[in-house]
Amino acid sequence: MTDAKAACDWLCNPSAEVSAHYLISRHGDIMQFVAEEKRAWHAGAGKWGAISDINSHSIGIELDNDGFSPFSEPLMAALETLLPEIAGRWGIASKGVIGHSDMAPGRKIDPGARFDWRRLAQQGLAIWPKSQQVASVDEGRFVADLTAFGVTADVDLDVRLAAFRSRFRPGATGPLASADMALASDLAARFPVDACEANV
């Protein structure tokens, strides 16, 4: 959307058939539309681990961004205030904080490559893989590692790779590389999906 007001208007339009629990504007305003214990319609079709009804197992936070620009400092600061509050109320581990592109790669691209996942991870609000020894390229192993991490949507390798890179290797291009393999291996080893009880 062009701005938070347009997003708010869309989220409040019954014909849109979409909703979210929260919307954070680029100015840092936090707006709540749906009570946390109620189901919102922000995710749609997708899958994370064994969960295919993401809307019934998540709290949706929409962020005011055009998909190409850096996320504003007031927005990030507001998110860093809201996330631990939600996580504390619902017992959500940092592993359970995911983006729409994690659960519906290809169909959804948000929050996109400009979102600072590493910043959240440094505060314990998300996860970030550790650098490992470079691994040999093996497409089957890469898919298996991402599946263990939770990326279980039935999509082609190139779609899965693009979503993975958008979050963990923004700016990376080309075919599957050893750097992708190393990061995926670490995610699978340290953050298996069965450790995730809920997601945001």
Task: Say which CATH number the domain at 16 has.
Answer: 3.40.80.10
Beta strands in 15-58 (DSSP E): 22-24, 30-32
Pick the catalytic residue from 17, 36, 37, 62: 62
Residue 200 lies in a domain: no
Based on the residue annotation, tell me whether 197 is a catalytic residue of this protein.
no
Q: Model pTM?
A: 0.92
CA distance 181 to 132: 9
pLDDT score for 116: 97
Instruction: Please give the average pLDDT of every successive group of 10 residues along the chain, which has 200 residues.
Output: 90 92 98 97 93 95 94 98 98 96 96 97 96 86 96 96 97 96 95 62
For residue 196, the model assigns a pLDDT of 46
**Domain assignment of residue 131, given as a range:** 4-195
Q: Is residue 189 part of a domain?
A: yes
Q: Which of 6, 61, 54 is nearest to 33 (CA)?
A: 61
- Number of structural domains (the chain) is 1
User: What is the per-residue pLDDT for 198?
Assistant: 44
